[in-house]
């Protein structure tokens, strides 16, 4: 069915062909303008028209098979309503003397009722507050964890520093002990040398006595 056939189908109900053509043009024009402006046109039981943005992508030319880059674009999309789907699938039968797609309830095309909008706004505000509270609690936990880690690091460094100090003191005491030991050894060494030098003198006197005895015997 094309547009002319559509006009002929509703001409009897609209009171004439011209009135039907004007009605079809007006409906299509309103749908196209709304979708181009980014609005979503929804007809309960029939379907919805909306604008969909497609990012840049690569495609293949079906004739040559060459890879071609496709720019970012926007396309219209129609999604059939549940009533339309049920009629097409056969789960529901078409009414003979009634409209297949019934009129939408009041307020369904102009948006949700004020009460629903208010509740949705309250829910969104509650979500924002909970998210902010969660962020604050996470920030507090991270700051406390950092403080504890820094304190632990300071304590560990202090503990490491004390063994170094004790080792330095031990080194100083050991060096002092070695120095004193060297001094005492140096004092004792000259005394031993002196005793060693005195020993040959005794030997010389013994030699003189033996010499005197030998001369006496010869005489």
Residue 108 token pair: 């369904």
Q: What is the pLDDT of residue 98?
A: 79
Contact, 6 vs 27, CB < 8 A? no
- Residues of the chain short of pLDDT 50, as ranges, are 108-116, 161-166, 191-202, 219
- 100 is a domain residue: yes
Q: Is residue 45 part of a domain?
A: yes
User: So what's the pLDDT on residue 195?
Assistant: 44
CATH of the domain at 38: 4.10.520.10
Distance of CA 179 to CAs 107, 168, 186, 193, Å? 104, 17, 11, 22
Flag whether 156 is in a domain.
no
CA distance 88 to 19: 29
Q: Is residue 205 part of a domain?
A: no
Residues 201, 194: Cα–Cα separation, whole Å: 12
Number of domains in the chain: 1
Residue 53 lies in a domain: yes
| Residue 75 belongs to domain spanning | 3-109
Question: Angle at Cα 20 formed by Cα 16 and Cα 25, nearest 5°?
Answer: 150
* pLDDT for the residue numbered 58: 93
Among candidates 19, 20, 27, 26, which has minimal Cα distance to 5?
Answer: 20
Residue 81 belongs to a domain: yes
Main-chain dihedrals φ then ψ at residue 76, nearest 5 degrees: -80, 150
């Amino acid at each position: 069915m094309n547009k002319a056939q559509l006009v002929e189908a509703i001409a009897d109900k609209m009171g004439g062909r011209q009135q039907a053509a004007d009605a079809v043009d007006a409906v299509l024009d309103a749908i196209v303008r709304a979708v181009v402006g980014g609005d979503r046109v929804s007809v309960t039981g029939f379907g919805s028209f909306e604008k969909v943005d497609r990012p840049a992508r690569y495609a293949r030319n079906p004739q040559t098979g060459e890879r071609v880059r496709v720019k970012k674009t926007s396309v219209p999309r129609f999604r059939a309503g549940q009533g339309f789907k049920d009629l097409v699938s056969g789960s529901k039968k078409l009414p003979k003397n009634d409209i297949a797609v019934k009129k939408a309830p009041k307020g369904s095309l102009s948006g949700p009722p004020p009460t629903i909008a208010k509740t949705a706004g309250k829910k969104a505000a509650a979500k924002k507050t909970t998210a902010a509270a969660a962020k604050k609690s996470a920030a507090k936990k991270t700051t406390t964890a950092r403080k504890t880690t820094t304190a632990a690091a300071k304590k560990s460094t202090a503990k490491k520093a004390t063994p170094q100090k004790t080792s330095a003191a031990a080194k100083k005491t050991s060096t002092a002990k070695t120095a004193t030991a060297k001094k005492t050894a140096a004092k004792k060494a000259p005394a031993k040398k002196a005793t060693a030098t005195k020993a040959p003198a005794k030997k010389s006197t013994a030699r003189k006595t033996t010499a005197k005895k030998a001369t006496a015997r010869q005489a």
